[in-house]
Amino acid sequence: MAARRFSRQREQIYQAVCAAKTHPSAQMVYDDLKKDLPKLSLGTVYRNLHQMAEEGTLVELDGPVARFDAITVPHTHIQCERCGGVRDVDLPYDPELDRMAERAGGWTVHGHSLMFCGICPACAGEST
């Protein structure tokens, strides 16, 4: 098991997520790596990404297609409604939102993640 956990493939999958600033989906990681790793299958990429998300090495972002982020501290995202691209938004974490959620629902809140939606600069450029 230990040998599998730190397999070369897995390391390359992890590095691909780190290198991409786009919060890639399994398909995007697979497309990125298959030229170097012809034996790689989409299923293997999927399995490794899920495993790393469960261990906390990566964060899995919910959406129509699961996307993966190498930055595991809470931060804010924005998703393009046209191309589906996900980027980080440089906003400070707002602990007041956590307190507001606690007051609203009676929960003990440990944190939140935000996902904005809109049109990315590239798609906005296309439409004009």
CB of 101 to Zn ion, least distance (A): 21
User: What's the token pair of residue 77?
Assistant: 């995202």
Measure CA of the first residue to CA of the last residue in the chain; give whole Å: 53
Q: Which stretch binds Zn ion (CB under 5 A): 6-14, 37-45, 74-82, 98-106?
A: 74-82
The smaller minimum CB distance to Zn ion, of residues 54 and 88, is found at 88
Q: How far is CA 3 from CA 6, 10, 22, 39, 48, in A?
A: 6, 11, 29, 18, 14
CB of 40 to Zn ion, least distance (A): 24
- Is residue 87 a contact residue for Zn ion (CB under 5 A)? no
- Is residue 20 a contact residue for Zn ion (CB under 5 A)? no
How far apart are alpha carbons 11 and 70 in whole angstroms? 12
- Is residue 70 a contact residue for Zn ion (CB under 5 A)? no
Specify whether the CB–CB gap between 78 and 21 falls below 8 A: no
Query: Under the rule (CB under 5 A), what is the footprint of Zn ion?
Result: 69, 71, 80, 82-83, 85, 88, 120, 123
